Structure formats: C-alpha cells, structure tokens
Amino acid sequence: MELLGNLALGFGVAVSPVNLLFCFIGTLLGTLIGVLPGIGPLGAISMLLPITFQFPPVTALIMLAGIYYGAQYGGSTTSILVNLPGETSAIVTCLDGHQMAKKGRGGAALAVAALGSFFAGSISTLLIAVASPPLARLGTLFQAPDYFSLMVLGLIGAVVLAHGSVIKALGMILLGLLLGQVGTDLTTGRQRYTFGIGELSDGIGFVTLAMGLFGVADILMNLERSAMPRLAAVVGRLWPTREELRRAAPAVLRGTVLGSLLGVLPGGGAILSSFTAYALEKKVSRHPEQFGKGAIEGVAGPESANNAGAQTSFIPMLTLGIPSNALMALLVGAMSIFGVVPGPRIVSEQPQLFWGLVASMWIGNLMLLVINLPLIGLWVQMLRIPYRLLHPIILLLCCIGVYSLNGSALEVGLMALFGILGYALLKFGFEPAPMLLGFVLGPLMEENLRRALAVSRGDASVFIRRPISASLLAVSALLLLIVLLPTVKKVRQDAFQE
C-alpha cells in the first residue's frame, strides 16, 4: 500500500501540464539525438544543462532523464536503416537490424526495437520503484568510510568495464580526480592548482568540462567522417509477422532481466547491457549461424537490454548518490547545481522529486512508443540534414551555454581546451567517460576520506574495521586483480574486439 501511495504522489507530480510538456520535449529531443549519429546523450545533456537552470529541479530532471532513455529508442533507427548507430549502445543493433532492412524487413525490425524498449523500460521503472526505498534505507547505515569505499568500488567498476586498456582507464580516472581538486580547499581555505587565476578559485565548471569532452570533441571527431551514407534499406511492412514475434518475445524478456541487473552495477548501463545481451542471444540460440544475417533476436535482445540498463542505472545514483556511469555522473552534477543532494535521504526528504521522476519514466516510455512508430518517416527525413549545418549550430549552442553560466570568456576558452583534449584522447584510444566519473566523485571521495580520518583521529585502519567498508574494498581489489590476470585480460580484449 505504501508503494501505491508513493506512486500516486509521483503521478500527481508527473502529470502536471508543465512536467508533461517537458517530459515530451525530453523524449522527443532524446529520439532526435539518437537518430542523428555523432551527437549522443552525453553531449546533448551537457549542452542543454544551462537552459534547465531556470526550471524547478523536478521539471529539469524529468526532461534530462527523458533525453537519456529517449536516445536509446532513437539510436535503433539509424542502426537499422543506415547501418550507422546514432548512439553507442545501438552498435550491435546494426549487425542484424540492417540485414533485416536490406531484405525489406526494416519496418519489422524498428517495430520490435520500439516494442521491446517499451516493455523493458516499463519493467525497469517498476524495479526502480520497488528497489529504491529499501536500498535508500540500507544507505542510511553507511558512514564516511563506507561511502569512500563505495566510491572506490564505483571507480574500479568503471575501469573494469571501460573499453580498451585497463591502464588507460585508470589514467583517465586519476586525471579526473586531479581536475576535481582544482579550486579552494574548503577545510583550509587555500587555493589549489589555480595558478593564480582568480576565476578558478571555485574550481573547474562541471558544465565546461562536460561540454568540452563530449560536445566539442564529438564535433571534431565527426569532421573526419565522410558524407553520411544514403538510405539504401527498405522500411517495408511495419508490423512483424507472428513467427518474428514468437522468436522476439523470449529475447525481449532475457534482455530486460539482463539490462536491469547490469544497469545497477558500477560502470554498467546501456552500452554494457546491449553488448552482453547480444552475446547471450547468440549463445542460447539454436541457430547461431543466423546472427549477423538478419536474426530478429539480435535486435530484440540488445534493444530491450539497453533501455532497461539505461533506466536502472538511476537506482544507485538516486539512492546512494553514486553514479554508475558517466551520464549518471553528469546528472549528479546537474542535481548539485539545482541544490539537490542525491543519496539515501532523497526518498524521504524529497519524495515529490523522487517519485515524480520515477512516474515520469512510465509516461515517457509511453510517449516514446507513440513518437517512434508513427513518425518513422520523419526520422528518416532527419537523416538527410547535412552535417555541415549541424556542427556550427551545436558549437554555437555550447559557447552560449557556457558563457551564460557566469559570463566568463575564460570558461569558453577552457571548454575549447577540454574539447581539444577530448579529441586527442579519443585519437590515442583513451575513453574520456571515466575522467568525468573521477571528476564528479573526486571531491566527494576527499570529503568522506577526511571525515573518516577525522573521526578515527588519523587511524586509516577504520576502512578495514568497518564490515561494509572492508567488504567493498575487498570486492574492488578482487575485481582489479581478476581483470589484470593474463587469461582474463585476453578474454576481455577479445570480447571488446568482437
């Protein structure tokens, strides 16, 4: 009964005209971002953050969340029709979705992707509603040493699941931690790493870093691309056949369960969920030779998993204040700007915000089903927009957004600098997402480390004496040890290569 009462409160918030409007705007923008390759939800949310500062926190978060899970829907359109993923988590959808489109079954692939995503999104939102309050109550048992160890586990998880070299991922996290230390030390009042520049006394702006790494850097990477490929695939009949539905249904169920579980893990989310779901479908299939040639399960499983993973990644961010991936780190930064502190007390102290956001996810998933299926023709036409027109507009929006925060030309210059840095990192095989995670968690880790050492009077063994902290550190050490083993390292490299 308590759950029903909370959901009633949430729907009361979510169905207000303003929140409904911004939920629709968020899901529509998310679909557009997913359809247009090369932008991605990280860059889009970074660009739109300054616009949302004028809204109430719940309205802003409803829109930003809609952009995130909406991009998972839209990413399948270009994957299936053009063989070019609009969003990273839709990469595996290219393998079978585009082959279906070449056979004239593009419409069926799009319909299965949309229906699977809707089912997975609805179930994973229910999981958020059921699992978040108990997890938040568990979080109240955490003290400073436990939070520090939990953040260490989150960073190690990001290293283990990051694409490419473990050493490179560790380097990115350390760089993010160092950037997070720029500014004024709140304990001593002394400035750190500001090099005498007064505008850095408050630290590097979160929006400035995010826009540079994921907005400007993406533009620079996309400038290397040739012209967009033309639509050579056929949409055909929109509704799948009875046989296709029979084969897709179990894959949707497996993808939903797998994505819901992986989304909660540190370093997890939509990307890991979709890749793992595709590997699972290929393993359990009686005809694995059909994969890569137009198997409907190769579309249904990953598309369900990436939407479920995208939404359940909200659970640790909202209830413990620990982002499980870079995009959740971005939303933690946004919430701190709004004056909202994610963590165990958000469920009890700000129930309207928490339950309003949860309820909006159901509404948003329903909106996405309506937006995606009837408007396939519109999204196909959007693919014809020349990128030479999109890039200057995106760059102009980034500059306006950063300058509007504090009226600082230095921050615009820093954004450009981080954009060049992000481009260089991508060229040399470094993944910038762990850097953002380290940047967000760095100040929180320092605060909890100092608090734990102050209470224990400098005794570092407090991190081992507390059972929760010791368990989290043990899991972190075990994960790092396992991933560095030669056998596991080779399997990991082979998995990412595949």
- DSSP class per residue in 324-359: SSHHHHHHHHHHHHTT---STTHHHH-HHHHHHHHH
Question: How many angstroms separate the CA atoms of 80 and 101, rounded?
Answer: 6
pLDDT (tens digit per residue) in 213-245: 877 887 787 777 655 545 544 555 667 788 888
Distances (CA, A) of 444 to 54, 152, 255, 282, 448: 26, 11, 34, 41, 6
Instruction: Please answer whether residues 73 and 34 qualify as being in contact, where contact means their C-beta atoms are separated by less than 8 angstroms.
Output: yes
Beta-strand ranges (E) seen in 188-312 are 191-192
Give φ, ψ of 431 to 5 degrees: -100, 115
DSSP per position, 347-408 = HHH-HHHHHHHHHHHHHHHHHHHHHHTTTHHHHHHHTTS-HHHHHHHHHHHHHHHHHHHH--
Give the position of tokens 């700000």: 350
Instruction: Please answer whether residues 75 and 97 qualify as being in contact, where contact means their C-beta atoms are separated by less than 8 angstroms.
Output: no
pLDDT at 5: 84
pLDDT at 345: 79
Q: Of 335, 309, 367, which Cα lies nearest the Cα of 59?
A: 335
Low-confidence residues of the chain: pLDDT under 50: 229, 232-233, 495
Give Cβ neighbours of residue 391 (< 8 Å, ≥ 6 apart): 219, 222, 223
Instruction: Please answer whether residues 53 and 337 qualify as being in contact, where contact means their C-beta atoms are separated by less than 8 angstroms.
Output: yes
Q: Give the amino acid at 462.
A: V
CA R_g for the chain: 22
Instruction: Please answer whether residues 63 and 12 qualify as being in contact, where contact means their C-beta atoms are separated by less than 8 angstroms.
Output: no
Question: How many angstroms separate the CA atoms of 177 and 435, rounded?
Answer: 8
